[in-house]
Amino acid sequence: MAQAGPVPHWETFYASDDVVRHYARQSRLQLPERAIFNRIGPALSESHLLDLGVGGGRTTMELALRCKCYLGADVAAPMVAACRERFAELILNHGLRFEVVDARAMPFEDASFDVVLFSFNGIDLVGADARATALAECRRVLRPGGHLVYSSHNLNWMDSRWGIRWQGLRNYIETQRFWSQIQRINRSVWPIVARDWVELIDPLAGGSNCYIRPLELVRQTLEQGFEDLQLYDLRGRQIDDPQQQARLTDPWVYVHARASR
């Protein structure tokens, strides 16, 4: 039977050899991730951690041996295969697991994990309609009080008209170049500047990608049953003031929230 709708990223872009190889070479936590996991602190060592959208295992390197039980999961089977090859020794000797899992419908019991990480804007790829579903799934598989850590593309970055002041000339030029590519592909893009979040065709990845304003990110996360939410910028600084959150123009922003108790 013919497949309905466009072929998703994970069957094209994220399943391609070059992209898998690229992600399987990555190995360092990003600054905000490091800040968040330091904040979770010693509790991590007793945790069951789900590393969702694990890609080629960038985050595995630093997290797998810091938790009690580690499961890396990705909807792209070639990413999972690359992780199994890359971490063969750790799988054998430390019980790491890697599985093909779709964030929109996870094959796990309720409250199976203490920490769910969906890193490097993986949530932006699940599709606009399924974003809330993916967040609700993360909430369902977390125990009450468990930690959700994820990042998302920042729509402010896309239309930061004061980009030179906030980002420096080089970043500004890059942003504008990217923005004009997106405009070419998404013809009616201008109306989005007044919106809270959008799904755009991303010229780099050739598929749809969501961009969201920081306050909307906060709102959507709380709406799906999370609390005690902290937002981080790209340098790993916690941004608590809602006015500052609303003005953030970093290309992506980071969330650390607890599953409601």
Ligand X SMILES: C[S@@+](CC[C@H](N)C(=O)[O-])C[C@H]1O[C@@H](n2cnc3c(N)ncnc32)[C@H](O)[C@@H]1O
What residues make contact with ligand X under the rule CB under 6 A? 10, 14, 23, 26, 52-55, 58-59, 74-76, 79, 102-104, 119-122, 125-126
Q: Quick one: which H or E segment has residue 97? A: strand 97-100
Looking at beta carbons only, is 150 or 226 nearer to ligand X?
150
Question: Are 150 and 236 within 8 A, CB to CB?
Answer: no
Of 125 and 239, which CB lies nearer to ligand X in the complex structure? 125
Closest contact distance (angstroms) between CB of 247 and ligand X is 25
Q: How far apart are CA 99 and CA 96, in angstroms?
A: 10
CB closer to ligand X, 53 vs 146: 53
Q: How far is the CB of 126 from ligand X (least distance, A)?
A: 4
How far, in Å, CA of 130 to CA of 259, rounded? Answer: 19
Closest CB to ligand X among residues 76, 115: 76
CB-nearer residue toward ligand X: 96 or 125: 125
DSSP state string for 28-79: ---HHHHHHHHHHGGGGGG-EEEEET-TTTTTHHHHGGGSSEEEEEES-HHH
Q: Is 184 exposed, middle or buried (0-12, 13-18, 19+ CB in 10 A)?
A: exposed
Residue pair 255/153 in contact by the 8 Å Cβ criterion: no
Tokens of 110: 């309720």
**Which residue number places its CB atom closest to ligand X?**
55
Report how many helices (DSSP H) and strands (DSSP E) the chain contains, helices first.
11, 10
Least gap, CB of 110 to ligand X (angstroms) = 18
Q: Are 127 and 159 in contact (CB under 8 A)?
A: no
Instruction: Specify the residue for token string 């690229």.
Output: 22
From the CB of 49, what's the least distance to ligand X, in Å? 13
Kindly state the smallest distance separating residue 133's Cβ from ligand X, in Å.
Answer: 10
Least distance between ligand X and beta carbon 10 (Å): 4
Among residues 111 and 130, whose Cβ is nearest to ligand X? 130
CB of 103 to ligand X, least distance (A): 3
Give the nearer residue to ligand X in terms of CB position, either 76 or 231: 76
Taking each helix axis as running N to C, give the angle between helix 131-141 and helix 214-223, from 0 to 180 degrees, rounded to the nearest 10: 50
How is residue 8 written in tokens?
């998703």
